[in-house]
A and B are shown apart, each in its own frame.
Chain A
Amino acid sequence: MKCLSISVLLFCFTNFLFSQDFTRQTFKDTRVINTHSVETVAKRKLDVRIGHRFGDLAGSGGGWQSFYGLENAADIMFGVEYGITDNITVGLSRTKGAGPLKKLINTSLKYRFFRQKKDESMPVTMTAFGLWSVSTMKQDTSNSEVLNNFPEFSHRFMYSVQLLIARKFSNVFSFQVIPSYTHRNLVPFNDTNNLFSLGFAMRIQLSKVFGIIADATFPFSDLHTTENGYYPPVGIGLEIDTGGHIFQINFTNARGIMETDYIPNTQSDWSKGQFRLGFTISRTFNL
């Protein structure tokens, strides 16, 4: 009887997901700039992604000496995301890493469980996102003060879970709220393993091809404050949709690309010119 009830509930839920007239393209891509969006990769499609964050455009590390940051790479990401269903996406990527733990292998799972409907009976789209990062840095056993001393293998692990809630207000404007929880198994002295944060993202679609995107994430922590040299990662960018190919050019003060990296580790300040040019190329293939 219990099984039957669960089956009926699952059927109703699946039916709810697949049989309604949904709002589409709240965001054009699965990522805004730093944050994920509520979008998932369509079933049987493979999204190949390359992301890049250059060095500081200005400030002490930028300017002419680094050709405005273009000669440095804060973080680089190569990854794929695959749509198991239209609502479930799995991802695998490698990032250089911009925080104290580098050489990251990231696996992710994304599940869109509510979709905004055109008849307004569901006003928002909700997606759960989970990320597991493993640092593959070489272990430094000679110095117990550094994080990559890795006393235990599990110290290489970092996690982030997010609830993405977005609404497409019109064909021009979409907005998203992102409560997040990030956990690092090993952190520097005085830092905290657990970090809650709240993010925001938006898109203004200028034309069929061009859109302005922006996002910001605010960690809730007594340590992660501007007084202590931490700044909220904020990004703004231009999104170009050429049909099957999304190209994003953005500026952000975040050095890291993955949530486990940029949420706890952003120490660059926009007002000091410590922001950088970044881009993401996404190309979807039918599988």
Chain B
Amino acid sequence: MKKVSISILLFPLVILFASLVADDQLDFVIEKSTPVWDVLEYLGEPLPNHQVNESVNDASAEKGKDLMLIGITKKPKRGKTKKQSKHFVCTSCHNIQKEDPDLRLSNPQSRLEYAAENGLPYLQGTTLFGAVNRTSFYNGDYEKKYGELVEPTRHDLRAAIQLCAVECSQGRKMKDWEVESVLMYLWTLELKLEDLNLVNDDYDLIQDAVSTFKGGKDEETINYIQSFYQNGSPAHFITPPENRDAGYGLIGSPENGKLIYDLSCMHCHEAKRYSFFELDNSAITFRYLKNNFTKYAHSSIYQVARYGTSPIPGKKAYMPQYTAEKMSDQQLEDLRAYIEKMAE
């Protein structure tokens, strides 16, 4: 009788345990809003080295957001931090939204159109949206600009954040808790499956892979998911046209040039937002730009777009150049065509 009673008592517990185990296995149902890293991790992909370090005290995504958008946040004890940079904030040069319609490609024209449709500026830096999904930073020709400084940043997002803080924004080095806060905020901007432009068949394929996953590493599905976005942002430095009078020899579109002027030039130069050099929509300004196309000086759009300017003592608010991936030769001619039209 006693054994029967025990069996009756144990039976529901066994059922409950079994159902919990079964639930665990079926738990991971992918949705459009599922973070890409969650799926990759589930399928056995090792997590990146820029996982948030929980042991760093006083860090928070909210503080990271403050640092990135306004450059100042609350100190761990009391008061506010010193401004990270006197000249820039992260969003001076980087969007924090998706800026490429197709994350597999780095196409400046489709990015420009996407920016115009979505009310985004068109900037020199790569968007920080999805930064934690990348494994490579300061790619390509950035070595020409920063030399050996880029080496430790190539596969280390924390080091990349510090290099950006000190060199790109000409600001102070950030403390550990500040870097970790920025990292926490960047993790809130990670890619979701819906950002990858997957079709239903893709979702089904990934769900099947997840549902039948037996442990280990599902390389095939991981590679398939990763094929929908770039693991780093390519960067190729290019030069102004040899003959600045003739330009790149392409016919420019003033309509497209207006988008570049409004979304790119004016982002920094309107009302001296980030620059000491003011641009506006007056004929005087357009005439000035037109008269300087051929010069070998910062006042030439060819010169400044392809080489940028350098931070110098007393004037550290420099202008970063546009790589081939951020502004094509055609777009530069479009900008020229718009300036010429407005200067008439």
> A171 in the interface, Cβ–Cβ < 8 Å?
yes
Instruction: Identify whether the interface residues of A are mostly helix, strand, loop, or mixed.
Output: loop
CB distance from B105 to the nearest CB of A (A): 35
> B28 in the interface, Cβ–Cβ < 8 Å?
no
> A283 in the interface, Cβ–Cβ < 8 Å?
yes
> B87 in the interface, Cβ–Cβ < 8 Å?
yes
Given contacts A208-B284, A208-B285, A286-B87, contact A42 B317 (CB under 8 A): no
Chain A residue at minimum C-beta to C-beta distance from B170: A286
> Could you tell me the distance between the alpha carbons of A283 and B283 in the complex, rounded to whole angstroms?
26
Contact of A205 among B278, B284, B316 (CB under 8 A): B284
The answer to whether A244 touches B276, judged by C-beta atoms less than 8 angstroms apart, is yes
The answer to whether B86 touches A172, judged by C-beta atoms less than 8 angstroms apart, is no
CB distance from A45 to the nearest CB of B (A): 9
> A188 in the interface, Cβ–Cβ < 8 Å?
no
CB distance from A235 to the nearest CB of B (A): 23
> A25 in the interface, Cβ–Cβ < 8 Å?
yes
CB distance from A225 to the nearest CB of B (A): 41
30 contacts between A and B (CB under 8 A): A24-B271, A24-B278, A24-B280, A25-B278, A42-B272, A44-B86, A171-B282, A171-B283, A171-B284, A172-B284, A207-B284, A207-B288, A208-B284, A208-B285, A208-B287, A208-B288, A209-B288, A243-B276, A243-B277, A243-B278, A244-B276, A244-B277, A244-B315, A244-B317, A245-B276, A283-B314, A285-B314, A286-B86, A286-B87, A287-B86
Chain A residue at minimum C-beta to C-beta distance from B272: A42
CB distance from A241 to the nearest CB of B (A): 9
> A284 in the interface, Cβ–Cβ < 8 Å?
yes
CB distance from B169 to the nearest CB of A (A): 11
Chain A residue at minimum C-beta to C-beta distance from B282: A171
Contacts of B277 in A (CB 8 A): 243-244
Chain B residue at minimum C-beta to C-beta distance from A209: B288
Chain B residues engaging chain A, CB cutoff 8 angstroms: 86-87, 271-272, 275-278, 280, 282-285, 287-288, 314-317
Other A-B pairs, 6, CB within 8 Å; known A44-B86, A205-B284, A286-B316? A24-B271, A42-B272, A171-B282, A207-B287, A243-B275, A244-B276
Chain B residue at minimum C-beta to C-beta distance from A284: B276
Contacts of A172 in B (CB 8 A): 284
> Could you tell me the distance between the alpha carbons of A287 and B277 in the complex, rounded to whole angstroms?
17
CB distance from B289 to the nearest CB of A (A): 8
Contacts of A285 in B (CB 8 A): 314
Which parts of A249-269 form the interface with B (CB within 8 Å)? none
Contacts of A171 in B (CB 8 A): 282-284
Contacts of A208 in B (CB 8 A): 284-285, 287-288
Chain B residue at minimum C-beta to C-beta distance from A287: B86
Contact with B along A92-133 (1 / 0, CB 8 A): 000000000000000000000000000000000000000000
> Could you tell me the distance between the alpha carbons of A285 and B276 in the complex, rounded to whole angstroms?
9
Residue in A207, A208, A209, A286 with the greatest tally of chain B CB atoms within 10 Å: A208
Chain B residue at minimum C-beta to C-beta distance from A170: B282
Contacts of B287 in A (CB 8 A): 207-208
Chain A residue at minimum C-beta to C-beta distance from B288: A208
> Could you tell me the distance between the alpha carbons of A207 and B291 in the complex, rounded to whole angstroms?
11
Contacts of A287 in B (CB 8 A): 86
> Could you tell me the distance between the alpha carbons of A244 and B317 in the complex, rounded to whole angstroms?
10
Residue in B275, B282, B288 with the greatest tally of chain A CB atoms within 10 Å: B282
Contacts of A205 in B (CB 8 A): 284
> Could you tell me the distance between the alpha carbons of A44 and B316 in the complex, rounded to whole angstroms?
15
